[in-house]
Structure 1
Amino acid sequence: MKKVLVFGMTNNPGGMESVIMNYYRHIDRNKVQFEFLCNTETVAYSDEIEQMGGIIHKITARSVNPTKYKKDLKVFFEENSSKYCALWFNTCSLSNIDYLKYAKKYNIPKRIIHCHNAANGGDGLLRSILHKFHRRYLNKYVTDYWTCSEDANKWFFGKEGDKLINYRLIYNAIDLNHFAPNEKIRDQYRKKLGIKTNEILVGHDGRLHYQKNQEYLIRVFEKLNRKFPGKYKLLLIGKGDDEEKLRGLVNEKNLNNEIIFQGLVNNMNDYLQAMDIFAFPSRFEGLSIALLEAQANGLPCVISNKISNASKVNENVVMLPIDDDAIDLWVNQIDIYSNVGKKVDIEQFEAKHFDINNEAKVLQELF
């Protein structure tokens, strides 16, 4: 059995974490097993990881105690590196590449960097500077360059990123059966959320953060609610740094009875069943796993035109601008989609390499 050291799991069950887990669930764990290096107190999906035979190693985060972080890294790699065939380093920016440096120093033969985002907006100037600085030195430490989309590749690795050695597009594949429409679960979760039979539920899944642009969605919903009072409810799933600000905005606009903050959930598939429309106004994305899951459920989707076209699978997906002048376009499109219903194009999912049952075999061979 080969062992792979995986970095990228945090305490937030977000898109990157979902990608890692989707592959972990579907590889042959008798042939390839993962161990996880984490720097958060709690780790998303930790119970499931351990049930599947995975081991979680925890070290101090650099932001908590830089000195102890360095010591923990050194001790961990000294004691463990010899058992790994590869480091699979999943990240949304290059602000910290210490894990790759230590993997090379302690002779892990395959050192993979896997980018999961197409910009660094909202995370500060320093992170942006570090990202560009570290990009120059990747070839000293990296043996394989992976990306979630070609758009992400250009920002992450540079204009010539696709010419890097062992460059590969790794698809954000999902389990289509897990998200297929289910009327029984739909009824159950609409009751749980207090959604009436005649109400249209607009849903959104994403970290409450500048990137995901929930503030814009709330402004759209305010106008939607004003135009069609009592017809729509909005469900926001996720947590993040912007939560307090967003709750304040909802309170300011007197929308507390119309907008539901659900927080983090581990069963997004069930909440998708309850929705009628999926809204996703991101300022940028690598390739959104949340959007793919919504499409696997067949939901009509109104999304930002800043998102890669590669994310679009079904026909019932419309891309719109996210400037102030486009708010009416969002309102009108959401209302049009209130009568469309769900439709999944399974053949397109498979053709675009988004079926995890196929893609997990490819990933396994790469290890």
Structure 2
Amino acid sequence: MIRILQSVSNMDRGGIETMLMNYYWHLDRDQFQFDFLVNKEKPGFFDDEVRSLGGRIFMGPGLSPLKYPEYLRYMKTLLDREKEIKVLHAHNEAMEFYALNGAKKAGFPVRIAHAHNTHLPHGLKLPVKLVCKAMIPGAATDYFACGREAGIYYFGEKRWNESGVLIHNAIDLERFCYRSEVRTRLRREYQLEDKLVIGSVARFMVQKNHTRMLEQFA
């Protein structure tokens, strides 16, 4: 069995985490198994389900710049101890450099950087994140992205064109199939029987561009 270590913030119901669970639910777990390296102490929504499927959850030191040396030591200790882990797959945006470089310094052979965004949000940590993003290509061995633009933003156009891999976000379509009884029940519950209803499914983050949507509706 090959164990794949997924580096995330924590296993809450975010977009990246749900995408990973969609893959995990359908994985041949006799051949492959996911483990999760989390970086927040807060318990995640999917923690119990991960464990029930045979996955393990490892708590990292956190992604503070002050903890970077500790993170490198942690990655070496973890990967030296858990010999069944053969692949690191990192999803922490710019800060995935921590796990990737820690694995590189530990001599770990397969280190996947995964780009999920086309820009970094502005904030106090932006300078640190820009430095980390610039160093990701040198720390990774493989380059995944949810789209070409994200891949170019994180890895550069030349590297993306040469070795980038497009990974479509997995969605179980059966869960979202149209069902007239569900439509009727929900419209009745929210008193919307005679209304035109347009849904938007997204958390309130700048990347989801709710402002643009509201401008369009206005």
Which stretch has the larger CA shift, 33-42 or 94-103? 94-103
Question: Which structure 1 segments of 5+ residues have no match?
Answer: 221-326, 332-367
Query: Would you say the 8 A contact 2:11–2:17 is kept in 1?
Result: no
Query: Which residue in the other structure is 1:163 paired with?
Result: 161
Q: Alpha carbon RMSD of aligned pairs, Å?
A: 2.6
Unaligned runs of 5+ in 2: none
Residues 297-316 of structure 1 mapped to structure 2, 5 A cutoff: none
Aligned-partner SS, 2:107: coil
Greater radius of gyration (CA): 1
Would the aligned equivalents of 1:115 and 1:153 in 2 still touch at CA under 8 Å?
yes
Give, in whole Å, the separation in 1 of the partners of 2:71 and 2:140. 22
Alpha-carbon spacing, 1:195–1:143, altered in 2? closer, same or farther (3 Å) = same
Aligned-partner SS, 1:201: coil
Q: Letter of the aligned partner of 1:179 in structure 2?
A: F
Q: TM-score, normalised on structure 1? A: 0.53
Separation in 1, partners of 2:145, 2:161: 13
Residue of structure 1 equivalent to 2:30 = 30
For the residue of structure 2 that corresponds to 1:47, the secondary structure is helix
Deviation at 1:126, TM superposition (A): 4.1
Q: Provide the C-alpha distance between the structure 1 equivalents of 2:62 and 2:132, rounded to a whole number of angstroms.
A: 19
Q: How many residues align?
A: 215
What's 1:78 paired with? 77
Instruction: Tell me what 1:182 maps to.
Output: 179
Are the aligned partners of 1:87 and 1:112 in contact in 2 as well (CA < 8 Å)?
yes
Contact 1:82 1:108 in 2 (8 A): no
Please state how far the C-alpha of 1:27 moved relative to its aligned partner. Answer: 1.4
Q: Map Cα deviations across residues 118-138 of structure 1 (whole Å, 9 max, x no partner).
A: 122x332642x4444334433
Q: How does 1:14-163 map to 2 (within 5 A)?
A: 14-40=14-40, 41-63=42-64, 66-67=66-67, 70-71=69-70, 74-75=73-74, 77-79=76-78, 80-91=81-92, 93-120=93-120, 122-124=121-123, 126-127=125-126, 129-163=127-161
Question: Could you tell me which residue of structure 2 aligns to residue 201 of structure 1?
Answer: 197
The Cα of 1:17 is off from its aligned counterpart by 1.5
Structure 2 residue 207 is matched with structure 1 residue 211? yes
Instruction: For 2:165, give the aligned amino acid.
Output: R
Say if 1:70 and 1:11 are closer, same or farther in 2 by CA, change over 3 A.
Answer: farther
- Counterpart secondary structure, 1:85: strand
Q: In structure 1, how many angstroms separate the alpha carbons of the residues matched to 2:72 and 2:43?
A: 18
C-alpha distance in 2 between matches for 1:163 and 1:57: 34
The C-alpha deviation readout for 1:249-289, integer Å capped at 9, x for no partner, is xxxxxxxxxxxxxxxxxxxxxxxxxxxxxxxxxxxxxxxxx
Q: Residue 33 of structure 2: SS of its match in structure 1?
A: strand
Q: Partners in 2 of 1:45 and 1:190 — Cα distance?
A: 29
Identity of aligned residues (%): 28
Query: Aligned in 2, Cα 1:207/1:46: closer, same or farther, shift over 3 Å?
Result: same
Distance 1:72 1:140 in 2: 18
Counterpart amino acid of residue 144 in structure 2: W
Alpha-carbon displacement from aligned partner over 1:43-102 (angstroms, at most 9, x marks no partner): 232222122111111234234x944x75366245314353311101113x3245110111
Report the Cα offset of residue 197 of structure 1. Answer: 0.8
Alignment partners' CA distance in 2, 1:42 and 1:102: 24
User: Displacement, 1:23?
Assistant: 1.1
Amino acid at match of 1:183: S
SS of aligned partner of 2:108? coil
Aligned to 2:197, the other structure's residue is in SS state strand
Counterpart for residue 247 of structure 1 = none
Distance 2:185 2:108 in 1: 48
**Aligned-residue offset at 1:117:** 0.8
* Per-residue deviation, residues 209-246 of structure 1 (Å, max 9, x unmatched): 222233444x45xxxxxxxxxxxxxxxxxxxxxxxxxx
Cα distance 1:151–1:195, how it changes in 2: closer, same or farther (>3 A)? farther
Deviations 1:21-43 (A, max 9, x none): 11111110110001100012122
SS in 1 for 2:91: strand
Give the equivalent residue in structure 2 for 1:294: none
Q: Is the 8 A contact 1:88 1:114 kept in 2?
A: yes
